[in-house]
Chains A and B, each alone.
Chain A
Amino acid sequence: MSDRLSVGLNCPSCGGAISVTEGESTTNCRYCGSTLYIEGDNGVGTVVFKNKLDRDAAIKATQVWWRKGFKARDLKNVGTITEVYPIYLPFWSIGTRVAGWVCGYEERSTTDSKGNTRTEKVYKEEMVLQDLHYSDIACDPGDLGIRSVPNFSGEASFEDMDMIPTFESTTSHDDAIANAKADAIERGRESANVPNITFEKFHVLVRKVSMIYYPVWVVRYTYQDRMYMATVDGVTGRMLSGRAPGDPLYQSLAVTAGTSLGGLAAAGGIITLISFDSEVGIAGVILGLIVFGATYWFFRHGSEIVQGEFPDRKELSMRINGQTMMDRIRGLRI
């Protein structure tokens, strides 16, 4: 451990003062011309996006959002905005290139005119080469409902940095890179589209690591003594996330529609199955169950409408052996 907090930067070969800007990983000494490698900051550059929104625009966006979707019908009249302020959120933004090979096979079943089903293996060998962008919030998002950079284009400017409270980065640079690499491999594998993989080999190059400070407007509002929070993108003015009260009427309408349509689809499926013994019948029953399940979920949890990436968000996921219901339906040969 050194005993000094500040480190003056001198050229190790000639002792001259050197000037470095954030984000550089090499520099040249302007006195002796030596090329120097900078270790301290791992070459992370900082980008600050300029805030384009004002208070009124953030309020307007929230009020428009109140009217959309299945939110409480009286929210637009009863909801009171109590606080509106901008913050800068830190994000790791990592550009990667993934290159590799995926080998494997796909099983295809065909039924000929005599009704015999044959399954054949179609061998596949896919090359992967992609440039990707990964982003992840660099602090704990708490209840903000934001995890990744809303968009990568915007005017860069440091001028608001002193005016707007800035959330500090509290996560590790190397963890972010490791996550970016894992994400690149995952996305590379997906892009190859090989259902059964027998061999794969990927290389991930990290091209650029930067810290993006992105302006986000926080809007707090009250509805029947409850305090809700929503966030608005400070560059595009889009709603990013938020919680809002739901409406029992919509919950009730949803479950009424869901049980009737779902029940009838299932009944239709059963009849088809009995009289024609066709797979269409099974699809009908499954479709009925899905409609029923989805509307039940909304009935049970629709008292709060949530938009954004929240850790406690209740997602409707019915997975069987890793396949979603929708995949199963698509997979059925009708």
Chain B
Amino acid sequence: MAEIKCPKCAGPVQFDAGTRFTKCSYCSSQIYIDRSGALFYYAIPFTLSESDAVGTFKRWAGGSTKAKDLDKLAKITKVAKKYFPLYMFRRLIDDREEVLLEPAASTVLPGLHQLKLPGGDLQIFDAQFNTSGAEMVQPDIAMTHYLTTLPGNAKEQSLVYFPIWELEYQFKGNTYHAVVDASSSEVFASTFPIRSSVAYIAVSIAGFFAFIGEGLLATVNLLAGTALMAVTVAAVFVASLYVARRL
């Protein structure tokens, strides 16, 4: 909660991150909150604990495009809890409202240069805000650097801290990085060990052409065709089950 003075009676009025109109609790006058001239500090609370973040990473690592059993074989070597800063500008450019996101700190971490603000319950970041032990990444790019170059007129500008879990893991001697967005559970990674589709394609194609051949054969010799098909069904089933489980 932040506080402003009521412009009519000067009583303290509290408002939240999303409030646009509010009513003074003393004199009941309507107040519009004009954010164009101030810088707001917001933060999104963590909804993922460390074990949740590791679990989410494992869910992601178990995906079909990642190396088989990456979730079980990846050795997590570092887990860091961080708040990462981003500038959010809401501006009127040629009578159109636009939201512009700009980095507030330089980073090489995956996902964080994609410049998107994860969805979350924005809260006003002040002395009372509980950072729950997360490292605050300090902004090293000043906002004035952007303000002087951005087009249009200001409606609102804010520095938003969003919560991340930074993970470092090792797989087959290589070190990789992943970032888990601790508000909406998205996982970001620029490089990761991938799974080859070769075995999947080989089993499928072999089965498909075997059946075409056997289908043609069945028109000439029904018995031989059917017998071969039964063998192929069993072979494809066993081979594909092996591939799906192990490769």
Contact partner, B18, options A85, A142, A169, Cβ 8 Å = A169
Contact partner, B207, options A168, A227, A260, Cβ 8 Å = A260
**Interface assignment of A18: CB less than 8 Å from any CB of chain B:** yes
Chain B's nearest CB lies how many Å from the CB of A69?
A: 16
**Interface assignment of A255: CB less than 8 Å from any CB of chain B:** yes
Docked pose: A41 CA to B35 CA in angstroms: 12
**Interface assignment of B75: CB less than 8 Å from any CB of chain A:** no
B-side contacts of A175, CB under 8 Å: 97-99
Contact code string B47-76 (vs A, CB < 8 Å = 1, else 0): 100001011101100111100000110000
Chain B's nearest CB lies how many Å from the CB of A329?
A: 19
Which of B102-110, B166-174, B196-204 is found at the contact surface with chain A? B196-204
**Interface assignment of A40: CB less than 8 Å from any CB of chain B:** yes
Contact A173 B97 (CB under 8 A): yes
Q: A171-B99, A301-B64 are in contact. Are A263 and B120 (CB under 8 A)?
A: no
Q: Which of B64-118 contact A (CB under 8 A)?
A: 64-65, 71-72, 88, 90, 96-99, 116-118
**Interface assignment of A248: CB less than 8 Å from any CB of chain B:** yes
Q: Which of B186-203 contact A (CB under 8 A)?
A: 186-187, 197, 200-201, 203
Contact A249 B59 (CB under 8 A): no
Docked pose: A243 CA to B37 CA in angstroms: 43
Contact code string A8-25 (vs B, CB < 8 Å = 1, else 0): 110000000111111000
Docked pose: A273 CA to B90 CA in angstroms: 63
Which of A127-135, A183-191, A218-226 is found at the contact surface with chain B? A218-226
State which size class the interface on B falls in. Answer: 35 or more
Q: Which of A236-253 contact B (CB under 8 A)?
A: 243, 245, 248-249, 251-253
Contact A172 B99 (CB under 8 A): yes
Chain B's nearest CB lies how many Å from the CB of A180?
A: 14
B-side contacts of A155, CB under 8 Å: none
Number of interface residues of A (CB under 8 A): 79
Chain B's nearest CB lies how many Å from the CB of A105?
A: 37
Which of A110-118, A200-208, A292-300 is found at the contact surface with chain B? A292-300
Give 30 CB contacts A-B under 8 Å: A3-B37, A6-B4, A7-B31, A83-B52, A137-B119, A139-B120, A140-B118, A168-B121, A170-B119, A170-B122, A172-B96, A175-B98, A227-B52, A229-B56, A253-B237, A259-B210, A260-B233, A262-B208, A262-B211, A263-B208, A263-B211, A264-B211, A267-B212, A267-B218, A299-B200, A299-B203, A299-B244, A300-B200, A303-B64, A304-B62
6 more contacts with CB within 8 A, not counting A168-B122, A227-B59, A256-B240, are A1-B154, A6-B32, A140-B116, A167-B121, A170-B117, A227-B58
Q: What residues make up the interface of B, taking CB atoms closer than 8 Å to A?
A: 4-8, 13, 17-18, 20-21, 29-38, 45, 47, 52, 54-56, 58-59, 62-65, 71-72, 88, 90, 96-99, 116-122, 154, 181, 183-187, 197, 200-201, 203-204, 207-216, 218-219, 229, 232-233, 236-237, 240-241, 244-245
- The 6 A-B pairs with the shortest beta carbon distances in the complex, nearest first, are A263-B211, A142-B184, A267-B215, A227-B55, A259-B207, A8-B7
